């Protein structure tokens, strides 16, 4: 943690210091270098299946990190050997447009480098999304390089259009091809706007010094922190606005800074040729998603032999263990050790920045060889999911009341073909959390019971955040559902927290026509919850 904090601080200090050295005729190159660096980061992130190398275990990951550090040091030494162009500070000249770097990085983290997010929105295979993200960065680099080498006459209306386009691209969250198209357009727009902002520093290099640039950059980094805090804090703190307004606000700041930067650009650019090399380098990196696509295997459902069926519920805690480590392999091993046919998952992140921008569902699907259906609740990137080795015939995702919860809740229903002409209906859910809010969970239980309607061959699984005896739990029992832990005589059946279990909030309920055997609670601290597993038969 301390090393991560130190690295972040040094990164924040490095950008303005380096920019101050190169801005006299080199800010445009700095912009292309920054865009290239982000594309290389995307390549690394995508090559590891959106599971960041910093969280990877093993010698290979360690050697890669050491190599990256070595390359960084060598680049820094080469830079220091080049005469700097530091300028004295002055009260003249526009320096504040550089604060756009913070909102720019916010949008990169949240959207334009987020492979997991686009995978969830499009439903495409992850290697295809990886390739699309890199291709969009190629387009952004190429367009930025071309703009920097062209006449600046009439650039302000183009900048205005790009700013408006960027706002629209990040404000609209739609699935499918439209999401991919908006992503491409937004990626090009944000790359060009950044290039314009940094190129404007060349026009006033003699008037804008390190101190003023650092102040503007510092404000931008504060904006980055504030935007990220507000976006994810909105899931815990009631704010007077929706967090979905923050990406358009960041885009507006970038557009405004770019528009003001255009006003000081000279009519003709300096002696800078069109630098295609960064775009070509990223184009070469497209071999990575191509290799990934060739190796990709979609999990194929296995025809069952009928009952019995092994089912499991597991709250994944966004992938983090009780020590705060993002350990997906440990979670996979917990599931794998029980050999379930169907798994109901809660707290599944598909691109949350605070959860490593990881697509947990795709990663687990590939690792375990199980197909999946997703039921996001708090936006399109977080919620419930079902993994299955057996064919999923149909599924539906539904919201749970009330709609004004900070973290919205829902449930996912799937009809599983267990073979032998028989089926199992699975309801996977995650109830509202705070302990005093039993009335809300009662309302949620009522909605699920109404949906169930007394149908046979049904299992309800999930983190219900209620304890035996609570009204929201007892109404399930009174409706005829049976708790498999009670059937197995497992008491007290604590499932949370995993390092010191003291409450029972994770359940598997089955209808009276089903029987349960081999019921158990998993062990370990891969998540802050323990899983519940049962074999159900007729």
Tokens of 477: 């029992």
Tens digits of per-residue pLDDT, 205-221?
Answer: 444 455 666 788 888 99
In this prediction, residues 436-457 reach a mean pLDDT of 97
What distances in angstroms separate CA 437 from CA 118, 383, 408, 433, one per listed residue?
A: 34, 20, 14, 8
The residue among 499, 473, 76 whose CA lies nearest residue 321 is: 499
**Local confidence band at 89 (pLDDT 50, 70, 90 cut-offs):** very low
Q: What's the pTM?
A: 0.92
Instruction: List, for residues 349-368, the tens digit of each pLDDT value.
Output: 999 999 999 999 999 999 99
The neighbour count for residue 82, using CB atoms within 10 Å, is 10
Q: How many CB atoms lie within 10 A of CB 449?
A: 17
| The predicted structure's pLDDT at residue 91 | 43
The pLDDT > 90 percentage for the chain reads 74
Among 108-112, 170-174, 310-314, 509-513, the range scoring the smallest mean pLDDT is 170-174
Interval 285-314: pLDDT, tens: 999 999 999 999 999 999 999 999 999 999
Domain range list for the chain? 2-295, 309-537
pLDDT of 14 reads 80
Cβ-contact 387, 373 below 8 angstroms: no
Helix (H/G/I), strand (E/B), else coil: 329: helix
Give the tens place of pLDDT for each residue, 484-501: 999 999 999 999 999 999
Let me know the angle formed at the C-alpha of 41 by 36 and 42, rounded to the nearest 5 degrees. 95
Output the CA angle 470-471-472, nearest 5 degrees: 95
Tokens of 375: 């039921």
Which tokens in the block code for residue 25?
Answer: 């005729």
- Token pair 């000249």 is found at 93
Q: How far from chain centre, in Å, is Cα 418?
A: 33
Q: Look up the CATH superfamily of 309-537.
A: Endonuclease/exonuclease/phosphatase (3.60.10.10)
CB 411 within 8 A of CB 427: yes
Query: For the CA atoms of 45, 51, 57, 61, what is the dihedral angle to 10 degrees?
Result: -10
Tokens of 22: 């190169």
Query: How far apart, in Å, are the Cα atoms of 472 and each of 182, 205, 315, 346?
Result: 43, 66, 19, 18
Cite the DSSP H helix spans in 149-175. Answer: 155-171
* Structure confidence at residue 77 (pLDDT): 84
In this predicted structure, the answer to whether residue 34 has a pLDDT above a threshold of 60 is: yes
How far apart CA 222 and CA 228 sit, in angstroms, is 10
Strand ranges (DSSP E) for 145-228?
Answer: none
> Looking at residues 406-430, what average pLDDT do you find?
98
Q: Give the chain's radius of gyration (CA, Å).
A: 26
Instruction: Provide the pLDDT confidence category of residue 88 given band limits of 50, 70 and 90.
Output: very low
Query: pLDDT category, 84, cuts 50, 70, 90?
Result: low
């Amino acid at each position: 943690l301390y090393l991560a904090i130190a690295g972040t601080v040094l990164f924040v200090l490095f950008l303005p210091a380096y920019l101050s050295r190169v801005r006299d005729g080199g800010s445009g190159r700095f912009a292309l270098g920054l865009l290239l660096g982000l594309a290389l980061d995307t390549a690394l992130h995508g090559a590891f299946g959106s599971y960041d190398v910093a969280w990877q275990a093993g010698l290979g990951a360690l050697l890669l990190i050491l190599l990256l550090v070595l390359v960084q040091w060598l680049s820094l030494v080469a830079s220091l050997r080049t005469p700097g162009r530091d300028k004295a500070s002055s009260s003249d000249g526009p320096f504040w447009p550089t604060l756009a770097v913070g909102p720019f990085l916010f949008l990169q983290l949240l959207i334009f480098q987020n492979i997991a997010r686009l995978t969830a929105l499009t439903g495409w295979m992850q290697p295809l999304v990886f390739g699309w993200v890199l291709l969009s960065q190629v387009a952004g680099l190429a367009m930025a390089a071309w703009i920097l080498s062209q006449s600046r006459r009439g650039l302000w209306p183009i900048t205005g259009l790009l700013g408006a386009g960027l706002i629209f691209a990040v404000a609209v969250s739609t699935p499918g091809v439209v999401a991919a198209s908006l992503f491409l357009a937004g990626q090009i727009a944000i790359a060009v706007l950044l290039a314009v902002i940094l190129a404007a520093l060349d026009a006033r290099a003699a008037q804008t010094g390190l101190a003023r640039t650092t102040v503007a950059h510092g404000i931008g980094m504060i904006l980055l922190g504030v935007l990220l805090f507000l976006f994810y804090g909105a899931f815990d703190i009631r704010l007077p606005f929706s967090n979905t307004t923050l990406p358009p606000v960041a885009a507006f700041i970038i557009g405004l800074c770019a528009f003001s930067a255009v006003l000081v650009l000279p009519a003709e650019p300096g002696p800078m040729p069109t630098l295609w090399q960064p775009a070509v380098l990223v184009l070469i990196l497209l071999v990575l998603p191509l290799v990934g696509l060739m190796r990709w295997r979609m999990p194929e459902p296995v025809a069952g032999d009928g009952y019995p069926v092994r089912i499991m519920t597991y709250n994944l805690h966004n992938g983090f263990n009780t020590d705060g480590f993002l350990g997906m392999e440990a979670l996979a091993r917990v599931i794998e050790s029980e050999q379930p046919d169907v798994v109901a998952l809660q707290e599944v992140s598909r691109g949350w920045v605070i959860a490593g921008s990881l697509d947990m569902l795709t990663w687990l699907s590939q690792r375990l060889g199980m197909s999946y259906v997703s039921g996001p609740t708090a936006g399109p990137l977080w919620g419930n999911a079902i993994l299955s080795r057996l064919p999923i015939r149909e599924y539906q995702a539904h919201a749970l009341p009330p709609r004004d919860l900070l973290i919205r809740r829902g449930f996912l229903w799937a009809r599983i073909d267990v073979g032998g002409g028989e089926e199992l209906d699975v309801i996977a859910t995650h109830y509202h959390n705070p302990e005093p809010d039993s009335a809300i969970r009662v309302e949620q239980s009522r909605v699920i019971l109404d949906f169930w309607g007394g149908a046979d061959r049904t299992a309800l699984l999930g983190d219900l955040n209620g304890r035996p005896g609570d009204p929201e739990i007892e109404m399930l029992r009174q409706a005829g559902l049976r708790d498999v832990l009670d059937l197995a005589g497992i008491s007290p059946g604590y499932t949370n927290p995993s390092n010191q279990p003291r409450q029972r909030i994770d359940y598997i309920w089955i209808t009276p026509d089903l029987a349960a055997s081999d019921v158990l609670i998993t062990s370990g601290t891969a998540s802050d919850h323990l899983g519940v597993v049962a074999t159900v038969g007729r």
